[in-house]
Amino acid sequence: MVRFKAWVIEKGEAGQTLSFTDFDAADLMDGDVTVRVTHSGLNYKDGLAMTGRSPVVRRFPMIPGIDFSGVVETSDHPDYTPGDAVVLTGWGVGETHLGAYAERARVNGDWLVPLPNGLSPAQAMAVGTAGYTAMLCLMAIEAHGLTPADGPALVTGASGGVGSVAVALLARAGWHVIASTGRMEEADYLRGLGASEIIDREDLAKPGKPLGKERWAAAIDAVGSTTLANVLAQTKSDGAVAACGLAQGMDLPTSVAPFILRGVSLLGINSVTTPRPKRRAAWARLAKELDLAALAAMTNRVGLAEVGRLGEDILSGKVRGRTVVEIG
């Protein structure tokens, strides 16, 4: 009987518990590829899962962890053979399917992508779901036809995971980046990633007018709620906002004014079930375009045994940039 280390969420009458324990390989869920997990990441959704703050976990027991990189151990999938280096984000891993905070994972091979050329397994998880989502946001803004010549690009939640990678990617692509943060003490960090201007997130946090001064042509919003409403109200005519997050809240108290009077577009981003060709294209671009020095500057590392106590920290906005979980 093979056992391995894993974080496990259980639900009992007293509520949810999280423990670091030995897990029996026989209890892994169905899948055609078994991976020796070497790295994972800490994402906002992992915080929700580990603390039980939101009902993102739909099956118990659950191993949390929504993304991993690792090496294929066994495979019945035509695309993968033992020894292949792979990456996974999304598909309900860590929510409905046993996840990444473990030394082994068994998954559907269709969910995997080969480790992109140019990134190590640790770098791939420094990018992780958050960075991959930032790239999907940039791709959506570009597909809308916007370029740096149209005006500045705003990033909200800029010191967080999605935000930090978004700042670096936009700056690298030539945008004048305005970073909105609640941590003004991180201004130098954000300038180091490529931000040209830093604004206090309080500017955008409170209810505002249906339309305001036109300040940016594009935005990547990880925050939602009143912030997103204000971001839309201050987007230039024919601009676009890629919305991927809800760090302030799930609501969106906006009006139709930005859409019908300025032709602003709201672009929804869902990284979980992105079809394979787009997923591979996003990873290939990340490997080519993300400045690896910027990636290193935004990355912290923790061991598997430590990640279980970081759930509250990420939900309360205390985690800067990305956190790689070292496993194998």
Q: Closest residue (Cβ) to ligand NDP?
A: 160
Q: Does 170 bind ligand NDP (CB under 6 A)?
A: no
Q: Which one, 43 or 75, has the nearer CB to ligand NDP?
A: 43
Q: Does 194 bind ligand NDP (CB under 6 A)?
A: no
Largest CA distance in the chain: 65
| 3-state SS assignment for residue 77 | coil
* DSSP per-residue letters across 193-258: HT-SEEEETHHHHS---SS----EEEEEESSBHHHHHHHHHTEEEEEEEEE---SSBS-----SHH
Applying CB under 6 A, the span of 41-49, 56-64, 69-77, 109-117 interacting with ligand NDP comes to: 41-49
Q: Does 181 bind ligand NDP (CB under 6 A)?
A: yes
Applying CB under 6 A, the span of 25-33, 228-236, 239-247, 300-308 interacting with ligand NDP comes to: 239-247
Q: Report the DSSP beta bridge partners of residue 15.
A: 12
CA distances from 136 to 112, 182, 224, 243 (A): 17, 24, 17, 10
Applying CB under 6 A, the span of 146-154, 167-175, 244-252, 281-289 interacting with ligand NDP comes to: 244-252
Q: Which one, 5 or 285, has the nearer CB to ligand NDP?
A: 285
289 vs 13: CA distance, rounded Å: 49
68 vs 39: CA distance, rounded Å: 6
Answer for which of 39, 45, 236, 262 binds ligand NDP (CB under 6 A) is 45
Answer for which of 319, 324, 325, 327 binds ligand NDP (CB under 6 A) is 319
Paired sense of beta strands 265-268 and 235-243, if any: parallel
Q: Does 328 bind ligand NDP (CB under 6 A)?
A: no
What's the Rg (C-alpha) of the chain? Answer: 20
Answer for which of 7, 35, 37, 44 binds ligand NDP (CB under 6 A) is 44
CA distances from 200 to 150, 205, 207 (A): 23, 9, 15
319: how many CB neighbours lie within 10 A of its CB?
Answer: 19
Q: Does 129 bind ligand NDP (CB under 6 A)?
A: yes
Answer for which of 38, 40, 43, 75 binds ligand NDP (CB under 6 A) is 43
Cα first-last separation, the chain: 20
Residues 267 and 140: beta-carbon distance below 8 Å: yes
Q: Does 161 bind ligand NDP (CB under 6 A)?
A: yes
Residues 198-227 that bind ligand NDP (CB under 6 A): 201, 222-223, 227
Q: Does 88 bind ligand NDP (CB under 6 A)?
A: no
How many amino acids of this chain bind ligand NDP (CB under 6 A)? 32
* Interacting residue ranges for ligand NDP, rule: CB under 6 A: 43-45, 129-130, 133, 157-163, 181-183, 201, 222-223, 227, 244-248, 269-272, 314, 317, 319
